Chain A
Amino acid sequence: MPTALNTWLARHAQTLMGSLGRIVQHPVATTMTMAVIALALALPLFFNVLLENSRAATADWNQAFELSVYLAKKAGTERAEALAKQLRARPDVARVRVITADQALAEFRESSGFGKALDLLDTNPLPNALVVTPSLAASTAEGTQALKVHVASLADVDTVELDTEWVQRLNAILDVVRRVIWLTGALLAISVVLVVGNTIRLDILNRRAEIEVMKLVGATDSFARRPFLYSGVWYGLGGGVGAVAVVAVATALLAKPIQRLIGLYGSQFQLSGLRFGTAALILCLSIALGWMGSWIAATRHIRAIEP
């Protein structure tokens, strides 16, 4: 390696460690600055984790589009089987399950608790029905809609129900929530820049005399600015690590109750924590924000200090 580059690297490394040493000398102030950054970043990050989990949880539901096809009363079991066979031949259909009127009644008797009341009925009021699952390729809003129209046009089909509206509403809500999280995140990111900027500004004012002397012996603005930029990087790194830690602890605390809650709905769902990639991204982001805040403050205030 050329000596010039070596010297340059050594000097930067030295400044980097020097600024670390300096901010460690004021542990309370440093911790407070880092904590503010950590909390500002942890908030949107944590909501993002929850959002990602709700997406993961509802992803299954998105694909659970099923058509409930109720046949006319006059259509018997044979007709139901025939229709089922006809539908199974279609490429956009994955499965067709026949639920005969008797099966439906038996199931209803069992699950509803109206057994006694049902005994009073002379005839089975339920029609034969088919449950049609679209193929994976057709499991889109348009695909299922087209299938629904086709099935509804068949002879002996009374009604076709496609119960997806609530899933679409949920998705719309999640989209809004995601937008809100992004917006909050952007605002909090700006506040991180301001917090670091203000900390660095105070730092510079405290070391005004030193900067003056450095400029007097020929330091350029960028040389005088460098340690402050590194301080900003350290604040960012500390804050980022703090944010990741806060979110990790919060998710760990929530995992049990959420699992129990979802368990009550008969679903098996594991709350997934912060992914490694997201954590790494947050660290990079918070370092970048710290650097940005210190750059803005240091550039402005160091230029203003003249011996």
Chain B
Amino acid sequence: MIHFDQVSKRYPNGREALAGVAFRIEPGELVFLTGHSGAGKSSILKLIALIERPTRGQVFINHQNTAAIKARSIPEFRRSLGVVFQDHKLLLDRPVADNVALPLIVAGVPRREIEKRMRAALDQVGLLGKERSRPLELSTGEQQRVGIARAIIGKPPLLIADEPTGNLDPDLALEIMQLFKRFNDVGVTVVIASHDVHLIDRLGARRIVLADGHVVG
């Protein structure tokens, strides 16, 4: 599903976030990227989502070399990917329904189908009935679940999450992680960047440990 081949990433400010990173993630896997902040977790997720491009090396997603994906094709590519952010990145002036439906709206899916799938996605994260709420009327945990519903509404084969539990207390964090586990159970490849070692231990999934831009475990 994902193959990093000796990937380095140096940012314009000169910081080298990744130095010769190589790993493979098979379809259907649940993988945690761990390490201290600044170890390169976010950079890996940004390279997967084509938010950044590698300085050296190659990134393959679904056997496709991302270097071959032109800027024009990036929107199409991102529709096959679900992304969850630490800060949710919800549109605060829109109701939950619009936030969740956004990936389908931008993809031009007919309205009636959007409505149906939006409810299904909200149901999967346990927020059915909150369609008309504004994000700020929800708790932090609920906001994160709205973000997850938005990530999975397009039924992507690959789901990536950057510190999805970073702002949550342990109980809520576990709940969110179990939600990811459920999607993984039905075949979705899930990659989660997290520094919450205790939580990862409890879930017992594969880990890729990063330190200073290198894979160390």
Contact = CB atoms under 8 A, between A and B. Distances in A.
A and B, one complex?
yes
B111 A220 contact: no
Contacts, number: 50
A214 B90 CA distance: 10
B83 A216 contact: yes
B91 A218 contact: no
B102 interface: yes
Nearest to A217: B103
Interface string B45-81: 0000101000000000000000000000001111100
A218 B108 contact: no
B108 A217 contact: no
Interface string B72-108: 0001111100010000011100000000001100111
Given A7-B110, A210-B91, A213-B91, A218 B75 contact: yes
B43 to A, nearest CB: 14
B119 interface: no
Contact of B103 (A3, A210, A218, A306): A218
B106 A223 contact: yes
B150 interface: yes
A180 interface: no
Interface in A195-230: 209-210, 212-220, 223
Contact of B78 (A3, A10, A218): A218
A205 B195 CA distance: 33
A45 B154 CA distance: 52
Residue in A7, A213, A223 whose Cβ sees the most chain B Cβ within 10 Å? A213
A214 B74 CA distance: 12
Interface residues of B, number: 20
Contact of A213 (B75, B79, B89, B107): B89
A300 interface: no
A11 interface: yes
Contacts of A306: 51
Given A3-B110, A7-B111, A10-B111, A219 B75 contact: yes
A53 B77 CA distance: 61
A218 B79 contact: yes
A220 B110 contact: no
A218 B49 CA distance: 10
A307 B51 contact: yes
B51 A214 contact: no
A215 B83 CA distance: 12
B150 to A, nearest CB: 7
Contacts of B76: 218
Q: Which 3 A-B pairs have the closest CB atoms?
A: A219-B106, A218-B79, A218-B78
Interface of A: 3, 7-8, 10-11, 209-210, 212-220, 223, 306-307
15 contacts: A212-B89, A213-B89, A214-B102, A215-B75, A216-B49, A216-B51, A216-B83, A217-B78, A217-B150, A219-B75, A219-B106, A220-B75, A220-B106, A223-B75, A306-B51
